[in-house]
Amino acid sequence: MLTNNAPIYNYMPSEGIEKIHDTTMRVLEEFGIAFNHDEAVDILERAGCQVDRDAIPAPLVKFPREVVMEQIAHAPREFTMYARNPANNVTIGGDHMVLAPVYGPPNVQDLDKGRREATLEDYGNFIKLAQTAPDIRNAGGVVCEPNDQPQETRHLDMMHALLTLSDKTFMGNVVSGENANDCVELAAIVFGGREKLAQTPAMLSLINVNSPRLFDTRMLDSLFTYARARQPLLITPFILAGAMSPVALGGSLVQQNAEALAGIALTQLISPGAPVVYGSFLSNSDMQSGSPAFGTPESAAALLVSAQLARKYNLPFRGGGGLTSSKAPDGQAMWEATMTLWPTFLAGTNFVLHAAGWLESGLASSYEKFVMDIELCRMMQVFRGGIALDAEGLALDAFEEIGPGGYFFGAAHTMRHFRDAFYRPLLADVQNYVRWEQKGSETADVRANRVWKKWLREYEQPPLDPGILEALNEYIVKRKIEIQV
């Protein structure tokens, strides 16, 4: 598992963090958060919140700061997630980083077939890529939308793929409480029953806030289901500043903080001590066009500050990824992805959704960019590893051997270390121009195209007990019939 050696980068001085915290508390106390969910409102009222049930568009809950702070203190600082292959268990929180693929795109894209609606085959392909890439430690959730399957039952198809094509941790469906329950039931089949599953959480689910300041019914139904099943939740305000929050980073961070803490407090009231992650998905709108913009300097700054806030509250943090607004896996795609991945790693982000494959403001999962992003994540992991300053790291014997103007290629120290000394690129081409031209002047996307095909060819399905597979299939068939009646 990836742990951090290079220090965390604290972008904002602590007085700034305290100012954001204080303003957040004012927003929770004075403006409140709306919850479109009676049970949630009841629970929050009993905990000491002030409730206005007639507020539009949904009941408004004002949180005394003591209530929020007391509840979020119940959440664990870090927790373990269990994979059906124990070698793939992961820790969320602390110094650990867990990378997961892109989440949510309705389309896929590759150099051969261009951009198109995603299918279940694509879905399976991205799960296979996530399973194959050792850097990816959570196989993901909606790696793309399998649009060739009926909307009402496709969560079952996705869970089947997640549980059979991969043996890593994964993500649950949040389209409705009923879907969430199916996910829990299916996971329970694999993990030895609901009780066992509650003790060995296996799936993490993404609860988005309908920012500004609104939790909607379906998300809250899912939140209740997963919190009660003790499956971890990412509480993530969905913010494009200027549209879903003020056109200023300070206010946007306050709003995000208020929304995330309110949701986290609710999870702890439902299920004290349940694993939960402070989520950030905060970029800005392009104020000329109103379009979302990714890989911006504002989003980089906001990401670093969001992580500082999560650390202040002793909560695991989710943020960042390889985000971009580009429509092709070109220069823009990669400068924007790198613009986001640097702060992601500098922040010590504990769970990185969208770490690989995101393209087109999240509207397409790109096969090529999946591989390109993996290259970036690998490099950032090496960067986080720090510099050795022991005898071999300082290499004084090499200075003894190689005099002024000499070459170190043949030094004994080089012979001892050249194999592992430096990062070996997956895609980056370092050949000279003539050789590169002779080999077809391939740009990075073309080389990436070869790599993902190779990974799919080399993919090996992890073994699964035939009895479990049969039980999964039975459940899915039964539920498809029930749903489609």
Restricted to residues 409-428, the positions that interact with a copy of itself (CB under 8 A) are 409, 411, 413-414, 417-419, 421-425, 427-428
Q: What angle do CA 24, 29, 32 make, to 5 degrees?
A: 85
**Distance of alpha carbon 136 from alpha carbon 156, whole angstroms:** 23
- Report, in Å, the least distance between residue 11 CB and a copy of itself: 6
- Total of residues contacting a copy of itself (CB under 8 A): 133
- Report, in Å, the least distance between residue 349 CB and a copy of itself: 15
Please pick, from the candidates 11, 63, 370, 475, the single residue that binds a copy of itself as defined by CB under 8 A: 11
Alpha-carbon torsion (106, 110, 116, 119), positive or negative: negative
- Report, in Å, the least distance between residue 134 CB and a copy of itself: 17
Q: Please report whether residue 485 would count as binding a copy of itself according to CB under 8 A.
A: no
Looking at residues 391 to 410 of the shown chain, list those that interact with a copy of itself (rule: CB under 8 A). Answer: 392-396, 398-400, 402-409
Q: Please report whether residue 106 would count as binding a copy of itself according to CB under 8 A.
A: no
Q: Interacting stretch for a copy of itself, rule CB under 8 A, among 14-22, 81-89, 200-208, 462-470?
A: 14-22
Q: Please report whether residue 251 would count as binding a copy of itself according to CB under 8 A.
A: yes
- Report, in Å, the least distance between residue 284 CB and a copy of itself: 5
- Report, in Å, the least distance between residue 167 CB and a copy of itself: 29
Q: Please report whether residue 28 would count as binding a copy of itself according to CB under 8 A.
A: no
Q: Please report whether residue 438 would count as binding a copy of itself according to CB under 8 A.
A: no
**Distance of alpha carbon 334 from alpha carbon 330, whole angstroms:** 6
Contact 249, 20 (CB under 8 A): no
Please pick, from the candidates 113, 389, 457, 458, the single residue that binds a copy of itself as defined by CB under 8 A: 389
**Distance of alpha carbon 285 from alpha carbon 253, whole angstroms:** 15
Q: Which is nearer to a copy of itself, 199 or 399 (CB)?
A: 399
Q: Interacting stretch for a copy of itself, rule CB under 8 A, among 42-50, 120-128, 135-143, 243-251?
A: 243-251
Q: Please report whether residue 383 would count as binding a copy of itself according to CB under 8 A.
A: yes
Binding mask 252-291 toward a copy of itself (x if CB under 8 A, else -) reads -xxx----------------------------xxxxxxxx
Binding mask 113-132 toward a copy of itself (x if CB under 8 A, else -) reads --x-----------------
Please give the C-alpha separations between residue 478 and each of 94, 229, 375, in angstroms, as whole numbers: 41, 22, 42
Q: Interacting stretch for a copy of itself, rule CB under 8 A, among 79-87, 89-97, 142-150, 436-444?
A: 436-444
Cα torsion for 155, 283, 217, 194, to the nearest 10°? 50
Backbone angles phi, psi at 46, to 5 degrees: -60, -30
Q: Which is nearer to a copy of itself, 160 or 354 (CB)?
A: 354
Cα torsion for 322, 326, 327, 329, to the nearest 10°? -60
Q: Please report whether residue 40 would count as binding a copy of itself according to CB under 8 A.
A: no
Residue type, 186: L
Looking at residues 169 to 228 of the shown chain, list those that interact with a copy of itself (rule: CB under 8 A). Answer: 210, 212-214
Q: Please report whether residue 382 would count as binding a copy of itself according to CB under 8 A.
A: yes
Looking at residues 333 to 372 of the shown chain, list those that interact with a copy of itself (rule: CB under 8 A). Answer: 333-339, 342, 346, 360-361, 363-364, 372
**343-365 residues labelled b (16+ CB within 10 A) or e (exposed):** bbbbbbbbbbbbbbbbbbbbbbb
Q: Please report whether residue 329 would count as binding a copy of itself according to CB under 8 A.
A: yes
Looking at residues 56 to 75 of the shown chain, list those that interact with a copy of itself (rule: CB under 8 A). Answer: 56-58, 60
Going by C-alpha positions, the residue among 259, 302, 320, 261 that lies closest to residue 16 is: 302
Q: Please report whether residue 10 would count as binding a copy of itself according to CB under 8 A.
A: yes
Classify strands 96-101 and 2-3 as parallel, antiparallel or unpaired: antiparallel
Q: Interacting stretch for a copy of itself, rule CB under 8 A, among 96-104, 131-139, 375-383, 451-459?
A: 375-383
Q: Please report whether residue 483 would count as binding a copy of itself according to CB under 8 A.
A: no
Please pick, from the candidates 271, 326, 344, 350, the single residue that binds a copy of itself as defined by CB under 8 A: 326
Contact 107, 365 (CB under 8 A): yes
Please pick, from the candidates 98, 165, 241, 277, the single residue that binds a copy of itself as defined by CB under 8 A: 241
